[in-house]
Structure formats: C-alpha cells, structure tokens
C-alpha cells in the first residue's frame, strides 16, 4: 500500500465497537508528540501567517493544551461558557466533530496568564485521555463516547494544573506535584482502576510532564521535580535512580537522544549570581513575628522576593507560615540549581556524581522544553535568546544568540526536516536551521495572537493553537 494510505482496524471491546486508525503516516499522541520528543514528520512550511500557507483555520475555545493527533482527528481541551470541554476537530479541514463537557463542580484557579485547560490529551489510538485539575481523568472513544472517568481532588497550587498525562505500559501516568500531598498515580488505561500510587511528598509544586526514556531495551519513567530528577519502574512505580541538580520548581519536560537523557530547569533565585537566601526561622521570627505566636502572616514578611513567594511557603494555604513550612522553602532556595544537564543510562540510587555527563548553567529557558535535532539540543530563553549544544558532549555551538523575537516563551520547541520551530507568547514563531554551525534564523512568522500551546508537526503540516484559533499550516 502507498505510504500515505490508511487502514481501518475494528476492535471489539466489552459493550462497544471501537474504530481505530492504524496509520503508516505519523501521529502526535501526547504532549510533544511521539515519545514526547517534539520531533515531527514531513516538511512543514518555513514561512506562514494567518494569510500565508494556511491549510485551514478555525475558532476554538480558550485553553493552553496542545494538539493530540491520531489518524484524521485532533483532540484539544478548553474553557467554553464556564465549562471545561474536550473537543475533537477534523484534521482535514478543522471542522469540530464533537465536544464533551467535564462534570466539574468548580473550576480551579490558574495563573493570571494561565488556563484551567492546560494539560494536553494523550491517546493509545483506541482511547483518548483528558485530564483537568478541576475534575480528574476522563477516557473517551475517538467518537466522543465516554469510556470511564476518575474524579480526583484538585491539586493544592494556586497557579493551576499543567503537567500532562502520558500513556505507557497500558497505564495512564499522572504526576501531581503540589504544595501538599504530591504523588504520582498509574491508572489502567482500559478501566481507570488504580494500578499503583507513589508518594512524592518531599516535592513541591511542579508543572513538568513526565517522560518515558527508552534505552537499552527498557523503558523508564522520568519525572522532574523540586531539586531532583528521578527514574521509576513503569511496572510498579519503584524508584530506580535519582539525580540532584534541579530548580525549586520544574517546568520544562525532559527529552532524550542517542541514549542520553537531557534535563533542563530554571527558576528565580537559582543562578549563582542571583541567589535568594532566607535566614533561619528563629532569626527571622525574632525580627518579624510581631505577635510572637511563632507563625508568620503575609503582613509580617518584609517586602522583597521572599514575601513575593509567600503562597509557596504557606504550603497548606491557611494564611500562616509555620517553622516547618518556612524551613522547607529555605532549604529549597539553598539547594536549588539552574542548569541544563545530560544523564547517561544504567545508574541506580543517587547517580549525581556517577552518571551526569555534562552541565550548562547559563542562558536557560524557564518553561520552554529543549528539543533535539541532528544530534544537537536547542533551547530558547525568554527574551528570544537561542542556544544550541552537542547533545553527547554539551559543547556549545552557540549560546544566548538573539533571534530578534522578544517576549516570554512558554511553548516548547518542535523539530522537523532540519528545522526547529519555537513560538513566543507574543505570537512570533521563530524557525531555526538545525544544521548550521552558527545561529541561522530562517523565518520569523507573526501570528498576531498570543501562543502558549506547543505546536504539532504531522506529515508536513504544522498544527498551532493561539488563544482563540487553531491553525494548520502547510506548503501549497
């Protein structure tokens, strides 16, 4: 059959028949696509805009989730008329095929520029999984019929839920790092039943999507969190290894290439020349605990970077910071490390001193995840500062080169056909040449609308979501 042909396979499940599309063409089944690598297929256009190289464009509900694509369908989530919805578009022309609302009683809060519809859906081709912090997990057939649902408490973090679910080994993996009660859960993808649950109480709020690291014939579940990145066994959630060297809050997701795991994290107060330090609780309370009750209210904190993070220090959100809460964050500020680093496989226990291959501590992205192409890892720091390194050695190809597209970068980079595509919050999509030995900006494409969602690239088509629209860009 031609490489672009489609074969339909009908699978009988208890009580219903599912039509699954098995494609020789590619899919984009989760956040950052196949394997979470951010690597697309085909040759998407270098130049595009709302008026140029548009295959189609449609209005969509507001949300920050990225496209999940299987066969001829695209799944997204959003907030529409006060309801959190999962909806499906035709990949051919963008028509909305169905929309289902989550039965959430209350919409969780989000950052002022965030969204309660931030996690990206994932699929195994038969089942479509959606996750909202406001409700929990919902599983659908690709025609919109509900298979199962798993209500879960909303995470304890005022910025809202962001980490996306992934499917591996027949399980839906959810990382729920929050200010109180952090944990990781594996649900049976067919039924929603809990397979295992791992306590991550030592970790605080985190927004990084987990990554399945495939190497040496095995698969490891990699999770970035406060101060540590850890590897787990997919079968039972058992911890295999752990490496120090993370920021206080994990935002970016890992990636891998050539048997090497690449991890990036940055947060305020973690750079060596700009660290935030907190004095011991006893000294701080002696100076600022006005009512001497050994609990600190917001008003008792002096103005500055520590007070600005009061909501993080007050873990249980009761309006009072105890000595234990204070000392936890003090320790995090002291131990936080901002860096991009590489890990080789095969370790167990604490592998910080044995399996870290190289580190880079300058010009790091905040939220945008790194992407690997042509043996090189590319990052984009807010402000429009691009860096590229040899993935195996960490040797810089270029660092902090201006791409002349300023602003913050929340979307992660994706790559295809010798090019990296990175979108700024302001709506400029920068296209970089992955094979050049110095920074080579091939295009700066203005979408004239904010972008938070990471694009998808499938068979030469770039699917990109702005705050109000979904675009499919393709060569004529």
Query: Each residue of 357-399: pLDDT tens digit?
Result: 999 999 999 999 999 999 999 999 999 999 999 999 999 999 9
Among the listed residues 471, 473, 474, 462, the one whose alpha carbon sits nearest the alpha carbon of residue 94: 471
Mean pLDDT within 144-149: 98
Q: Between the CA of residue 113 and those of 135, 163, 408, 463, what are the distances in Å?
A: 21, 16, 12, 22
Query: What's the confidence (pLDDT) of residue 396?
Result: 98
Residues paired with residue 220 on neighbouring β-strands, in sequence order = 213, 233
Residue 13 pLDDT more than 80?
no
Say how far apart CA 194 and CA 186 lie, in whole Å. Answer: 6
> Strands 349-350 and 239-244: what pairing?
parallel
Confirm if 388 and 380 have CB atoms less than 8 A apart.
Answer: no
pLDDT tens for residues 227-281?
999 999 999 999 999 999 999 999 999 999 999 999 999 999 989 888 999 999 9
Confirm if 449 and 469 have CB atoms less than 8 A apart.
Answer: yes
Say how far apart CA 240 and CA 343 lie, in whole Å. Answer: 14
Among the listed residues 192, 70, 198, the one whose alpha carbon sits nearest the alpha carbon of residue 463: 70
Query: What's the confidence (pLDDT) of residue 273?
Result: 86
Residue 15 pLDDT more than 80?
no
Say how far apart CA 468 and CA 164 lie, in whole Å. Answer: 21
Domains, the chain, in order of start with CATH, read 6-267+336-473 (2.130.10.10), 281-335 (1.10.238.10)
Residues paired with residue 448 on neighbouring β-strands, in sequence order = none
Say how far apart CA 233 and CA 138 lie, in whole Å. Answer: 24
Say how far apart CA 442 and CA 430 lie, in whole Å. Answer: 8
H/E stretch holding 166: strand 166-168
> Strands 211-215 and 356-360: what pairing?
unpaired
pLDDT tens for residues 53-110?
999 999 999 999 999 999 999 999 999 999 999 999 999 999 999 999 999 999 999 9
Angle at 424 between CA 421 and CA 425, to 5 degrees: 145
Helix (H, G, I), strand (E, B) or coil at 86: strand
H/E stretch holding 282: helix 281-288
């Amino acid at each position: 059959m031609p490489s672009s042909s489609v074969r339909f396979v009908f699978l009988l499940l208890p009580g219903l028949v599912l039509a699954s599309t098995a494609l020789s063409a590619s899919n984009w089944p989760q956040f950052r696509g196949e394997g979470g690598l951010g690597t697309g297929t085909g040759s998407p256009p270098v130049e595009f805009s709302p008026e140029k190289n548009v295959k189609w464009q449609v209005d969509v509900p507001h949300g920050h989730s990225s496209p999940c694509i299987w066969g001829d369908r695209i799944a997204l989530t959003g907030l529409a008329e006060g309801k959190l919805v999962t909806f499906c578009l035709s990949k051919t022309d963008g028509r909305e095929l169905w929309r289902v609302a989550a039965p959430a009683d209350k919409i969780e809060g989000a950052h002022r520029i965030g969204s309660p519809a931030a996690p990206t859906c994932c699929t195994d081709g038969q089942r479509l999984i959606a996750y909202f912090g406001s409700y929990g997990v919902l599983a659908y057939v690709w025609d919109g019929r509900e298979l199962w649902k798993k209500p879960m408490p909303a995470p304890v973090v005022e910025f809202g839920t962001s980490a996306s679910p992934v499917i591996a080994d027949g399980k839906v993996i959810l990382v729920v790092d929050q200010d109180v009660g952090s944990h990781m859960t594996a649900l049976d993808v067919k039924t929603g039943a809990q397979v295992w649950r791992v306590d991550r109480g030592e970790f605080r709020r985190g927004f990084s999507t987990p990554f399945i690291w495939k190497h040496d014939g095995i698969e490891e579940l990699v999770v970035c969190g406060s101060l540590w990145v850890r590897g787990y066994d997919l079968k039972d959630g058992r911890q295999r290894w752990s490496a120090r060297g993370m920021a206080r809050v994990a935002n970016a997701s890992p990636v891998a290439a050539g048997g090497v795991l690449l991890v990036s994290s940055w947060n305020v107060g973690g750079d060596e020349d700009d660290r935030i330090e907190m004095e011991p609780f006893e000294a701080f309370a002696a100076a600022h605990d006005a009512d001497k009750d050994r609990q600190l209210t917001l008003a008792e904190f002096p103005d500055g970077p520590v007070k600005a993070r009061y909501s993080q220090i007050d873990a249980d959100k009761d309006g009072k910071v105890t000595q234990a809460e204070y000392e936890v964050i003090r320790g995090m500020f002291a131990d936080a490390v901002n860096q991009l680093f590489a890990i080789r496989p095969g370790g167990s226990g604490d592998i910080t001193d044995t399996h870290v291959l190289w580190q880079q501590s300058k010009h790091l992205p905040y939220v945008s995840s790194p992407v690997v192409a042509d043996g090189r890892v590319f990052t984009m720091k807010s402000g429009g500062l691009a860096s590229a390194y040899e993935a195996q050695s960490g040797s810089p190809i270029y660092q902090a080169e201006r791409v002349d597209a300023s602003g913050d970068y929340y979307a992660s980079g994706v790559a295809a056909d010798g090019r990296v595509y990175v979108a700024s919050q302001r709506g400029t999509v920068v296209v970089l040449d992955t094979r050049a030995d110095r920074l080579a900006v091939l295009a700066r494409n203005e979408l004239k609308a904010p972008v938070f969602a990471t694009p998808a690239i499938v068979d030469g088509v770039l699917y990109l979501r702005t705050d109000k629209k979904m675009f499919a860009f393709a060569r004529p």
